[in-house]
A and B are shown apart, each in its own frame.
Chain A
Amino acid sequence: MQHGKYGFITGFLAAPLGLYALFVIWPFIQSIYYSFTDWTGLSPEFSMVGVDNYTRMLHDDIFWKSLTHSLIFALLLPLVTLGMALFFAFMINVGGRHRKGGPVVTGVRGSGFYKIVYFFPQVLSIAIVALLFAFAYNPDSGAINSFLRGIGLDSLQPLWLGDPDLALWCVMAVLVWSTTGFFVVLFSAGMASIPAELYEAALLDGAGRATTFFRVTLPLLWDTVQSGWVYMGILALGAESFAVVQIMTTGPGGPDYSTTVLVLYVYQKAFRDGQAAYATTIGVALLVVTLAFAAIVMRLGRRERLEY
């Protein structure tokens, strides 16, 4: 049997690898190739232009603005989302007060209910979420400003998406709102697999909530947090950020380029301006950023795995 093992494994791997190569690797190679052409995306004719698109990109202010915003998204979103999700998950699963006769480790009162509520946003498609928030942010009759008026803050009526200083944060808040729930559930599952004895031991040693969290929960959950970080970063650089910016913002991408992100710029160049080759060039830049992000996270997050 031993001699046929590799053939056997190859047989199983060939199909998925083939599909992966065809649908993932090959398009990558194709777009890198197109980024050296002047293809418009609207006619079959194009010619090679060398690195023209790349020089143009490096001198393109909008590209740099988009890149900055994308990087802010990739750094801040995971931090905020995962931080909140960890906190909520901890409170739901571990953070509760010990009740007489109950288990030693338990969540806050009503944690079962919270668990479901946190997951609600995940059920809605991002397009719907973005639309709902666009209504809420409406400065004239939206929920937020109506609420502010309701509590007597008539003088405080921000323009939200219409204000270049606020717009990016408004968009980011929506992404946090819509993704936190998923990670709460993910981390809850991770926490459920941490043996209760560890918590009991920590409690006996007199550890408070904060200590328990930082000394027990977080280290044992590190792998999950790390994959969550990568996942969240990709989401912040990719489709999700595109959807909210495209649907919600002024322009879209404004006001005055205050919310434009790389994916949106790719889309606009390819499908609005008929400059598919330049769009793929920006796409290549986005690919580099995404890979770099994943590499950094993996590198920084490397720790000894704890067996339990």
Chain B
Amino acid sequence: MGSTGQHGSEGVGRRDLIKRTAALGLVAAPGMGLLSACASSGGDGQDKAKAGKKTEKNPLGVNDTAKLDFVLFDGGFGKEYAEDAVKLYEKAFPKAQVKFSATQKIQSTLQPRFNQGNPPDLIDNSGAEQMDMGVLVGKKQLADLTPLLDAPSYDDPSKKVRDTLRPGIVEMGQFDGDPVWILNYAYTVYGVWYSQKALDGLDEKYPETWDDMLKVCAKAKKKGIAGWTYAGKYPYYLPFSLYPMIAKVGGREVLDAIDNLEPNAWKHPAVKACFEAYYELFQKGYILRGTPGLDHIQSQTAWAKGKALFIPNGSWVENESANVIPADFDLAVSAPSGLDGSDKLPFGTIWASGGEPFVVPAKAANPEGGMEQLRVMLSEASSRNFTSKVKSLSALNGGIDGIELTPGLKAGVAALDKAGDNVVNPRIPDWYVQLEKEKIGVGGLGEMMAGRLTPAETVKKIQGFADEAAKDTSIKHYKHR
């Protein structure tokens, strides 16, 4: 083997080694500096970019030479829609440098930057590593987006941005008081998802009352199809249809009281009636066998294969389960069935709210730039681009003309039309994450639907959880206004 060439490479190897060692030293030294600059130090913040002049074309007064630092969550929606929007920003401010990055690890990437006081200018704080919004707001880490909402909209200068948004978007950005901390860019429709084809096969239509629901389930059972399935391992999917049902039966106030953690909020008769209705599904054997052991993907797959008729879910299910939903499935969504004619709100009452929360950090160097980027994204063209690329509605009310909607999207739009003003937006999921997921979801509803708790016990247990959360001084409390 020993050729001259080998000797040569050996020499390079040695030199390489020395170089690498030196490089390691260079990296290591500042690295240690970084380490010691953990939470205990830092917090001096960074220099703010000087605001630019406010003009008709630049209503937010963006400094046209300031850098823009934009971090996107690279999840189910991908990053293309945001990249396209960045291009529009660059076109409007050719002198500005935009640093765009997309990651799944929002918290690991950004937590140190928050702790050091140099966060980016715009963040899509989403995904499994979402940073707790309540804490970010409570610790005054976010900028108020009111200037953006009051700025003229991108397409129609006579209309403010706030007036172009879908219902609930602005409220969802508020925590206590007027400031709007978050702008949810996507719009999700929650409800009962089903295959129109499967219902047609049973010669039924979507049941509006609970008696009809039980009838449809009984009919399905005779054919060997389960009525319902749900993400048994993540029972906090159940509220997607259960909460709006509670609102339909007992009125909006019931949900508001629950959100406000009011004493005995869960003991409202409407809550118990709805729990009993769901429990009946279990008792009569209308729930797909084994459901409590299925995760969301597994339950959606069983449902897509036609093993169960209905599943409580959000509009992302169309994208998430695209590879298992048959082409002729005819995906549809409906507002939850009510109990009977004495319900407070009409059939159609549905839960719809924002998703993909975008925030501008309070300590951002160029907050105007971050907001302007959002304003660009809320334009008709960007929104249409988003919807056609990721099959989801955006926060912009409209932006769907001229594009071919998928069955699920079309059904979602129809459900929103039917709901009209009766769109509810429960806040516990974003105000009290632990309470919603682990306690109400897993500890309460999950146990009830697996038949291990009766509705009465569930109400009592969940009320206990809520009372605990209300008393817990380590979490921040919020109220509907």
Contacts and interface: CB of A to CB of B under 8 A. Distances in A.
Interface of A: 22, 30, 34, 39-46, 56, 134, 137-141, 145, 157, 159-164, 249-251, 253-257, 268, 271-275, 278
Contacts of A161: 233, 293
B162 to A, nearest CB: 27
Contact of A140 (B42, B288, B441): B288
B280 to A, nearest CB: 20
Given A140-B302, A256-B443, A44 B132 contact: no
Contact of B233 (A46, A145, A251, A273): A251
Contacts of B474: 56, 275, 278
Contact of A255 (B43, B129, B141, B447): B447
A44 B118 CA distance: 11
A139 B131 contact: no
A43 B134 CA distance: 12
Contacts of B233: 161-162, 249-251, 254
B289 A255 contact: no
A162 B232 contact: yes
B132 A273 contact: yes
Nearest to B298: A138
A162 B107 contact: no
B295 interface: yes
B51 interface: no
B141 A42 contact: yes
Interface string B97-140: 00000000001000100111100000000000101101110111
A241 B129 CA distance: 20
Interface residues of B, number: 51
Contacts of B450: 159, 162-163, 255
Contact of A163 (B289, B292, B434, B475): B292
Interface of B: 32, 35, 38-40, 42-43, 107, 111, 114-117, 129, 131-132, 134-136, 138-141, 232-235, 288-295, 298, 302, 307, 433-434, 437-438, 441-443, 446-447, 450, 452, 474-475
Nearest 8 Cβ contacts at the A-B interface: A139-B290, A162-B293, A274-B135, A44-B43, A162-B292, A274-B132, A43-B139, A139-B293
A44 B298 CA distance: 41
Contacts of B40: 30
B360 to A, nearest CB: 15
14 contacts: A42-B115, A43-B114, A138-B293, A140-B289, A140-B291, A250-B232, A250-B442, A251-B438, A254-B233, A254-B443, A255-B292, A256-B452, A272-B433, A274-B135
Contacts of B292: 139, 159, 162-163, 250, 255
B433 A22 contact: no
Given A44-B116, A162-B233, A250-B234, A140 B294 contact: yes
Given A134-B295, A140-B288, 10 more contacts: A44-B42, A139-B291, A140-B290, A141-B298, A141-B302, A162-B290, A250-B233, A254-B233, A256-B443, A257-B442
A244 to B, nearest CB: 14
Contacts of A255: 292, 442, 446-447, 450
Contacts of B289: 139-140, 157
A45 B295 contact: no
A22 to B, nearest CB: 7
Contacts of A138: 290, 293-294, 298
Given A42-B114, A42-B131, A273-B132, A159 B290 contact: yes
B123 to A, nearest CB: 12
A48 B52 CA distance: 41
Nearest to A139: B290
Contacts of B295: 134
Contacts of A249: 233
B39 A39 contact: yes
A162 B446 CA distance: 9
Nearest to A145: B290
B38 A30 contact: yes
Contacts of A157: 289-290
A250 B434 CA distance: 14
B39 A251 contact: no
A255 B129 CA distance: 22
